[in-house]
Amino acid sequence: MVKFAVIDIGSNSVRLVVYESMRRAPYVIFNEKILCGLGRGLSETNTMRDEAMDAVIDNLQRFHLMLDKMDVENYRVVATSAVRDAKNGPAFAERIKSECRLDVAVIPGEEEARLSGLGVLCALPRATGIMGDLGGGSLELAQLSDGDVGQRVSFPIGPLKYQTLEGQTITSPKADVDQAIASLSWCQEHKNENFYAVGGSWRALAKIHIMEKGYVLNNVHHYTIEREEALELTDRISKMHPVELGRYRSHISSRRLRVLPLSAYILNRLLKKLKSSRLVISGYGLREGLLYEAMAPDVREQDPLIAACHDIAANTGRFSEHGKRLQKWIDPVFPEDDFEHRRLRLAAAILSDVGWRGHPEYRAEKVLYEVLHGRLLGLTHRGAAFIGLALYICYGGQSGEQDTAKVETLLRPEDIRYANQVGNALRLAQRISGGTEKGLKSASLEILDGTMMLNIRKKDQALVNEVVMKRFTRMAKEFDLKEEIRII
C-alpha cells in the first residue's frame, strides 16, 4: 500500500499525519503535533519570532527523518496563515527547504478554505451548508453542496493574532470580527443551512457541550448542536472570565482556554449572520482535504462508510465479501427501505462477522463498543448507534439491556425496532449460511399474506435445527408476523 502524509505548518502548531494508504477511508498510522506558536505576537511585529521558527525547523527535521524511516515518499508540506502573513515568511520557507530538505507550499487563504471544505466532504460527502475553519491566525469559510466546494473566503482574524507573547489580548478584536463577518456578500444565499465547524477551538466548545449535557459519546466528530443551544453556548463562553474558564481545565488545555472566548464570539456571530439551522462539528479539515484531493477520482466517489466497513471486514472478519450477499439475502423482508436505511443495513451486514474472534461471552459488547468508538466515516452518531445496536443483537444481545441503555438514547423508538429487525435477520442468516455463499443459496426469505416464509431446498433441509428454528421465530416476532418453514 502506498502511504500518504501531510506536514501542516500552522500558526499555533506543526503536525505530521501519516495515512496508511490512499484508499477512501485509510487509517492514520502516525500523528504528532508540536506547539510552536509561529503566529503568537505576529500582529505586534509582523514577523515570526526566531525561537518559534527554530522550534519549527527542529521538528521538521525530525518529521523528515520519520518519513524516511516509514518509507513515505508521497507527501505534502503546507504552511498557512502565519507564514503567508509574516514579513519574514518567504525567507522562512527557503530556510525550511535548505535545512529540512522539504518543499513547503505556502497556501493562500482561499485555497486553504477550499482544502478544508474538501476535508469535510472527505468524511461527510453529502454535507450541504457553510464550512468554517478557525485556525490560530485566520478564519476560512466555504460553501459546500453536491459534493463540491463553491464560494470561499479567508479573513485574518484568528485568535492567536490578537495575543501577546504572554497570551494577553493586545487589542479589542471584536470590531475586526464584526467587520469581517458583515462583509460576507454571498451568505444570503445559504441561510438556514448547516454550519460545519473545523478547528481545535470549536471542537473544544463541543467538548464542553458534551460534558455539560452528559452526552453518551465523547466523539466530537459529527456532533450536532441545534441552533438555539449553539447560540446560548457560544454567547456564554464568549463572556467568561479566565477564572470562570478554569472549571474546564480537566477537559481543555490552558492554551486552548485562553483563546476560547474569542473563538466562541466568532462562531456566535457567524451562526447569527448565516442564520444556521444547526452546528455540526467536523474532525476533518485541511489535512484530510489534501488526502482527499490526492485520491484517484474513482476512489473519491466511493461511500466512505461502506469503504471503511469493507476494510474492517477484510482485516478482522472471516468472509470479507459476505456482507453484500447477506444484504441481498435479507432484502425481501425490507422492501420499503429508503436509501439511508439500506446504506446503514449494508454497513451492518458487512460488519456482522467482525466480532467472531472475541470471546463468545463478550462478542456483542465488543462489537457495540468498536462501532461507537471506532473510526467510521460518513456516519452520524445516530447512525453509529443504530449499527452498533443491530450488531449487538446479531451477536445475541437484546435491546434494553444495561450495555445498550445509553446507546438507545441516541435513537428513536422506530430506530430501535428497525435495529432489532436487522440484527435478528443477520443473526439468522449467519447461522444458516455458516458464513458461506453456498449456505445462503440453500434458503431464502419472503413475506406472503402476513407470514414470514423461510424457504429451504429439500436437499438442504437438514440445515434447519432447533437453533435455526429459534432464531427464525424470534425474527418473525420482531416483524409482528407469523412464521412458516417451507421445504421446496
308-347 pLDDT, tens digit per residue, is: 999 888 877 666 667 889 999 999 999 989 999 999 999 9
How are strands ordered across the β-sheet holding 28-35? 28-35, 13-19, 4-9, 75-79, 105-106
CA distance 399 to 416: 7
Nine-digit cell string for 442: 440453500
Mean pLDDT, to the nearest integer, of 479-484?
95
Between 110 and 464, whose confidence is greater? 110
Would you say residue 70 has pLDDT above 90?
Answer: yes
Start-end of CATH 3.30.420.150 domains in the chain: 109-287
Which residues are registered as beta bridge partners of 76? 6
Question: Is the pLDDT assigned to residue 225 strictly greater than 70?
Answer: yes
Least confident among 117-126, 153-162, 199-208? 153-162
Residue 192 and residue 153: Cα distance in Å, rounded? 19
At residue 168, the pLDDT reads 67
The yes-or-no verdict on residue 134 having pLDDT over 90 is yes
Share of the chain above pLDDT 70, in %: 96
Q: Tell me the per-residue pLDDT of 268-281, one tens digit each, with 9 for 90 and over.
A: 999 999 999 999 99
Q: CATH homologous superfamily of domain 303-487? A: Hypothetical protein af1432 (1.10.3210.10)
Residue where the block lists cell 518567504: 90
| Alpha-carbon gap, residue 240 to 238, rounded angstroms | 6
Position 315 scores a pLDDT of 77
Cα 103 to chain centroid distance, Å, stands at: 29
Count other C-beta atoms under 10 Å from residue 57's C-beta: 17
| Strand residues in 177-329 grouped as ranges (E) | 194-198, 224-226, 278-281
3-state helix, strand, coil in the chain (%, to 5): 50, 15, 30
- DSSP assignment, residue 180? H
Q: Where in the chain is the domain with CATH 3.30.420.40?
A: 4-107
Go through 456-478 and write b for each residue having 16 or more CB atoms within 10 A of its CB, e for each that does not: beeeeeebbeeebeebbebbbeb
Q: C-alpha distances in angstroms, 130 versus 141, 213, 290, 297?
A: 7, 25, 19, 24
pLDDT at 375: 78
Measured from the Cβ of residue 356, the count of other Cβ atoms closer than 10 Å reads 16
> What's the whole-model pTM score?
0.93
CATH 1.10.3210.10 region(s) of the chain? 303-487
Strands 194-198 and 129-134: parallel
Reading phi first (left if > 0) and then psi (alpha if -120 to 50, else beta), residue 435 is in: left
What type of residue is 120? V
Q: Which grid cell sits at 371?
A: 462501532
What's the confidence (pLDDT) of residue 160? Answer: 84
* Phi, psi for residue 446 in degrees, rounded to 5: -160, 160
Please check whether residue 88 is in contact with residue 47, taking contact to mean a CB–CB distance below 8 angstroms.
yes
Confidence at 166, pLDDT banded by 50, 70, 90: low
Instruction: Give the DSSP per-residue string, 60-126.
Output: HHHHHHHHHHTT---EEEEE-HHHHHSTTHHHHHHHHHHHH----EE--HHHHHHHHHHHHHHH-TT
Give the DSSP letter string of 150-205: EEEEEES--GGGGB-TTS-B-S-THHHHHHHHHT-SSGGGGTTSEEEEESHHHHHH
The CATH classification of domain 4-107, taken from the options 2.40.160.20, 1.20.20.10, 3.30.420.40, 2.60.40.420: 3.30.420.40
Q: What average pLDDT does the segment 377-402 reach?
A: 93
**Over 80: is that where the pLDDT of 172 sits?**
no
For the purposes of burial, counting CB atoms within 10 Å of the CB of 227, is it exposed (0-12), middle (13-18) or buried (19 or more)?
Answer: middle
- How many whole angstroms separate alpha carbon 174 and alpha carbon 262? 8
Q: Is the pLDDT of residue 87 over 70?
A: yes
Average pLDDT of every residue of the chain: 92
- The beta strand positions in 267-333, using DSSP E, are 278-281
Residue 189 pLDDT exceeds 90 = no
DSSP labels, 394-409: HTT--TTSTTTTTGGG
Overall average pLDDT of the 120-144 stretch: 95
Give per-residue pLDDT as tens, 11-33.
Answer: 989 999 999 999 999 899 999 99
Q: How far is CA 34 from CA 55, 202, 360, in A?
A: 9, 19, 43
Q: 322-330 vs 413-433: helix axis angle to the nearest 10?
A: 110
Residue 184 scores a pLDDT above 80: yes
Q: Which CATH superfamily is domain 109-287 in?
A: Exopolyphosphatase. Domain 2 (3.30.420.150)
Task: Give the pLDDT of residue 126.
Answer: 93
- Check pLDDT > 90 for residue 357: no
Lowest mean pLDDT among 69-83, 250-264, 337-351, 359-373: 359-373
Q: Which three cell numbers stand for residue 433?
A: 449460511
Average confidence (pLDDT) over 371-376: 85
**C-beta of residue 344 within 8 angstroms of C-beta of residue 383:** yes
* Cα 378 to chain centroid, rounded: 7
pLDDT at residue 120 is higher than 80: yes
Q: Is the dihedral of CA 220, 158, 104, 59 positive or negative?
A: negative
Residues counted in the chain: 488
Q: Say how far apart CA 445 and CA 429 lie, in whole Å.
A: 10
Average pLDDT over residues 159-173: 73
With H, G, I as helix, E, B as strand and everything else as coil, classify residue 240: coil
Identify which of 136, 141, 177 has the alpha carbon closest to the alpha carbon of residue 268.
Answer: 177
pLDDT per position as a tens digit, 433-447: 877 778 888 999 999
Provide the pLDDT for residue 222: 95
What is the pLDDT, as a whole number, of residue 165?
Answer: 66
